[in-house]
Chain A
Amino acid sequence: MRGGYVFSEVLTGLRRNITMTIAMILTTAISLGLLGGGILVARMTSHAQQLYGDKVQVDVYLTPEVSANDPDCRDVCLTLKDSMQNNPDIASVEYHSQEDAYNEYKERFAGQKEMLDIVRKEALSAFLRVRLKDPAKISIISEQYSGKPGVRSVSDQRELLNRVFSVLNGVRNATLAIALVQAIAALLLISNMVQIAAFTRRTETSIMRLVGASRWRTQLPFVIEAVVAGVIGAVLAVGGLIAAKVWFVDKSLSSVMATGVLPPITANDMLIVAPILIGSGIVLAAVSAYLTLRAYVRT
């Protein structure tokens, strides 16, 4: 079997059925584009989690009595601090006394006399600033320490973070779900294209078989046709994602990304996604073409 002959059959095959080929390429492109979008959002989420991970801290405020009577963290405060240091989920604990809290307050509102006037040092609480190993577990601090002796309250950044993550996860899941539906459509279209190709060329195929061509030899062009269309679809998908990044994400979201709220999509992300999409395109096309030929095409 010689590659050149098979390849020329593939080209005529794709041209002969051009509208179907285009439909298949576009559906594959949309499906893979969405898959790529889903992967990019997933990567963004995990980047974001890392990004926030460094910043996520929970402040455990101590009661006024402890704040006032235990300024050097020797007694009730020390018990709390020790238990936190032994907690496997907690990366670090830092004690901020009433004095420190007041100094921080003064720094933050430097130049705003009214703000400085209304607060006395005694009104502020000392607190333990906790950093977590895994920011996703942020809720365990308030669960475990809220009622403990000496604790007045636990600051809660959970709400905001959870909202950001759930939006990102929702976007990712929706994208992947649409990608899946599109992938099924692409699969059916590939299968249909292969069936039509095999049907329109059934006389040709039966002649080839009479001359002694193997089943492989007569069917390989159909599989390659599907794979070529799949690869073109994947390349379009990658092109579409790059265009979407340059014209949409980078432009309209640049201010959000600059503030560090969302991490940018990098060229590196694209380099990882492109081969995944091309590989998926090849596998999707080859597998559905092969199964179709096994299931529907005799000769």
Chain B
Amino acid sequence: MIHLSHVSKSYKTSTRPALDDVSVEVDKGEFAFLIGPSGSGKSTFLRLLLREDAPEKGEISVAGSDLTKIRRSKVPGHRRRLGCVFQDFRLLTNKTVSQNVGFALEVLGRPRAVIKRVVPEVLELVGLEGKSNRLPHELSGGEQQRVAIARAFVNRPLLLLADEPTGNLDPDTSADIMLLLERINRTGTTVLMATHDNAIVDSMRRRVIELQLGKLVRDEDRGVYGVGR
């Protein structure tokens, strides 16, 4: 599902590379955590998978697209096959909950009738039935993150990328969000989640990929957050 070989990425304004010769494979259907201290390159990793940026060196392929050679015009098509969730939710502030979720289907060119049918189903799945006509600022942080997850999941992506999805939420709400991500993973969607939250990583006992200063330092099935330190 995700395949990186010898990937390096440096930002123009910084001296050390944000990612340094990273090689990783994630298989279909896996649930993996991407951990590491602040500035270790987690977000950069996910940005490369979304093709928000391109690496200087190495090869990346995601969900069957070779991102090393992909043309600019094919990038939207690549993103439509992924779902993504962020710490700051990134909802369209002037669209309602159901319009936000529907937008992911709209860009896929799905007919209005399909959008009308599918969106309420997904909102129910994330526990937001009855809130479909609210605007994002009329929701709590946890509810906004559910909308974002619904939007990421509505087109049944092969891969869901989450960059600190619980970073702005209290522990209880975070646990609810994790349950949701697990349920999505059980439908067969590969999930890759970047986080600093050791409690979550320790309780889930899933694969852990750890970065430090841009280098891959650990890759462990059923890992915990703080091993070896």
Chain A residues near B (Cβ < 8 Å): 1-2, 4-5, 12, 204, 207-215, 217
Contacts and interface: CB of A to CB of B under 8 A. Distances in A.
A94 B92 CA distance: 83
The winner among B52, B76, B90, B91 for most chain A CB atoms within 10 A is B76
Interface of B: 50, 52, 73, 76-80, 82, 84, 90-94, 103-104, 106-109, 112, 151
A214 B151 CA distance: 17
A1 B109 contact: yes
Query: Top 5 nearest A-B pairs by Cβ distance?
Result: A212-B80, A212-B79, A214-B76, A213-B107, A212-B76
B93 A212 contact: no
B182 to A, nearest CB: 23
A208 B75 CA distance: 13
Contacts of B151: 211
Contact of B94 (A12, A210, A212, A213): A12
A213 B109 contact: no
Contacts of A208: 92, 103, 107
Contacts, number: 47
B107 A207 contact: no
Contacts of A1: 106-107, 109
A210 B112 contact: no
B53 to A, nearest CB: 13
B92 A2 contact: no
B109 A211 contact: no
A214 B92 contact: no
Contacts of B77: 212
B92 A207 contact: yes
A215 B109 CA distance: 15
Given A210-B79, A211-B103, 10 more contacts: A1-B107, A2-B112, A12-B94, A204-B94, A208-B103, A211-B107, A212-B77, A212-B78, A213-B103, A214-B73
Nearest to B82: A212
A8 to B, nearest CB: 9
15 contacts: A1-B109, A2-B112, A5-B106, A207-B91, A209-B76, A210-B90, A211-B107, A212-B77, A212-B79, A212-B80, A212-B107, A213-B76, A213-B103, A213-B107, A214-B73
A210 B50 contact: yes
A210 B103 contact: no
Contacts of B82: 212
A210 B90 CA distance: 9
B12 to A, nearest CB: 15
A207 B80 CA distance: 13
A84 B79 CA distance: 81
B106 A2 contact: yes
B93 A211 contact: no
Contacts of A204: 92-94
Contacts of A212: 76-80, 82, 104, 107-108
Contacts of A210: 50, 52, 79, 84, 90
